[in-house]
Structure 1
Amino acid sequence: MKWTQIPLGPLQTNAYIIENEKKEAVVIDPGSQGDELVKWLQNQELTPLAILLTHAHFDHIGAVDAVRETFACPVYLHIAEKDWLLDPAKNGSARFTGNEPIVAKAAEKLIDKEEQLTIGPFQFSILETPGHSPGSVSYYQEEAEIVYSGDALFAGSIGRTDLPGGNHSQLLQSIHDKLLELPENTVVACGHGSTTTIGQEMDSNPFLSGF
């Protein structure tokens, strides 16, 4: 299997495409530029089996319907944010000047606990990592040694917690209890910016020092 990072939209939100040799794929956080993302998937001859959302802020969901409707694949989202796709006030698009309200159809699959998620040949461990938003989750692939952390943990930083439902202490607890417990060589595929590793963030992330 291999994965590709594709920054999308004005906030350069990272979409991740995980694929296997049979050209089956999983799309994580298709945030914007739906037509371009669909065209890229088609040019790569990929067949998405599912869309996984780390959370439902507007910059992570803008291309959800374009991908879902083109490939007829279900969307997975934590139950704590089940109505955010439909509500610009909750997904944040109503708060930012210049943004058109962003809405998508409701998710077909609601996550309500930490468990193993199997989508075709793809295996993920769901980690509940709230704090940036109430329903934030991270998707961990142990065999591939990578965790898709959304906006929980970044290279040298952590997610913002000043949006509705954000909680700084809860985010730090999530990072400490769930992400920093992963092997240090685990790649952290962040929602924005470059990838990092758990070990690097343990050693040098100023937001985590002394926690």
Structure 2
Amino acid sequence: MNKQIVNFKCSVMNDANGYLLVNNQTKKAILIDGGYNSEKILDFLKNNEIQLTDIFITHFHYDHTVGIDEVSLKTQANLWIHKLDFPFLLNNDMNGTQKGDTVNFNQKSIRFKIFDKFQTLTLNDFKITLKHVGGHTPGSTFYEVDNNSVFVGDTLFKSGIGFHKKMIEKSANSILRKLFDKTCNDEDFYKSLIMITKNYSNFTIYPGHWDEFELQDIISNKEHPIHKIKP
């Protein structure tokens, strides 16, 4: 198998996923998210003699990004993030610093690739299309890979949908309410869900938490909350 996807999960963050896309022939890889898994990821790269060339962030939330600064610095991998989420990555009230984590994305040696347009890249023989959708965060981005996989961050899960304003408006967690009140757009979020149902019937869907799934898995589940979302 020339290509494989290696999954790193963080159990204390609701099984937050980090996905390492490895080309076993060239021994090069791409990382999508990976919060709180920097040590495991770096050890895997070292033990398997794999070069990490690029990191893609689906959205700025700390459960997907804490430790990515370290991975980027130690590998010198390019770090891709949409321009609308980039400022929040540097904001110590939102990037994990506020809860006691050591985070420093302000280091000049981090090789940021800040994007704002739809584009398709070929990296390590992976074809990657960057699709900005917004909603969950201003810069939330889907990454389509090789026309058969899509990484959707915290938009859709096998058993539910991602956090958005309406879902947490009565939450007892004031920090969470404040975060989503400032950075979430429910209308765009609902549009991103509909986009998945219309475009990815032939894709494996890789979410920000828990397990990957096929679109048919949720279409056939009449209890899934996506059935309450109207175009």
The reply to whether TM is greater than 0.5 is yes
Aligned to 2:158: 155
Count of matched residue positions in the alignment of Structure 1 and Structure 2: 206
Q: Are 2:80 and 1:76 equivalent residues in the alignment?
A: yes
Identical amino acids, percent of aligned pairs = 23
After superposition, the Cα gap between the structure-2 partners of 1:209 and 1:107, relative to the gap in structure 1 and judged at 3 Å, is farther
Gaps of 5+ in 1: none
The structure with the largest alpha-carbon Rg is 2
Aligned to 1:199: 216
Aligned to 2:177: none
Q: What is the CA RMSD across the aligned residues, in angstroms?
A: 2.0
After superposition, the Cα gap between the structure-2 partners of 1:76 and 1:206, relative to the gap in structure 1 and judged at 3 Å, is same
Deviations 1:45-68 (A, max 9, x none): 211110000011111111212211
Deviation larger for 42-51 or 83-92: 83-92
Q: 2:7 aligns with which of 5, 8, 12?
A: 5
Q: 1:17 is matched by which residue type in structure 2?
A: L
After superposition, the Cα gap between the structure-2 partners of 1:107 and 1:182, relative to the gap in structure 1 and judged at 3 Å, is farther
Gaps of 5+ in 2: 166-179
After superposition, the Cα gap between the structure-2 partners of 1:92 and 1:165, relative to the gap in structure 1 and judged at 3 Å, is farther
* Separation of aligned partners in 2, 1:93 and 1:132: 20
**TM-aligned CA deviation for residue 93 of structure 1:** 4.9
| TM-score of the aligned structures, taking structure 2 as reference length | 0.81
Aligned to 1:90: 94
- SS state at 2:198 partner: coil
| TM-score of the aligned structures, taking structure 1 as reference length | 0.88
Aligned to 1:43: 47
Q: 2:186 is matched by which residue type in structure 1?
A: H
Aligned to 1:102: 103
After superposition, the Cα gap between the structure-2 partners of 1:101 and 1:46, relative to the gap in structure 1 and judged at 3 Å, is closer
Q: Is contact 1:129-1:152 (8 Å) kept?
A: no
Aligned to 2:138: 134
Q: Is contact 2:9-2:37 (8 Å) kept?
A: no
**TM-aligned CA deviation for residue 91 of structure 1:** 3.2
In terms of fraction of residues, the more helix-rich structure is 2
* Separation of aligned partners in 2, 1:92 and 1:161: 19
After superposition, the Cα gap between the structure-2 partners of 1:110 and 1:152, relative to the gap in structure 1 and judged at 3 Å, is same
**TM-aligned CA deviation for residue 29 of structure 1:** 0.4
Q: 2:119 is matched by which residue type in structure 1?
A: E
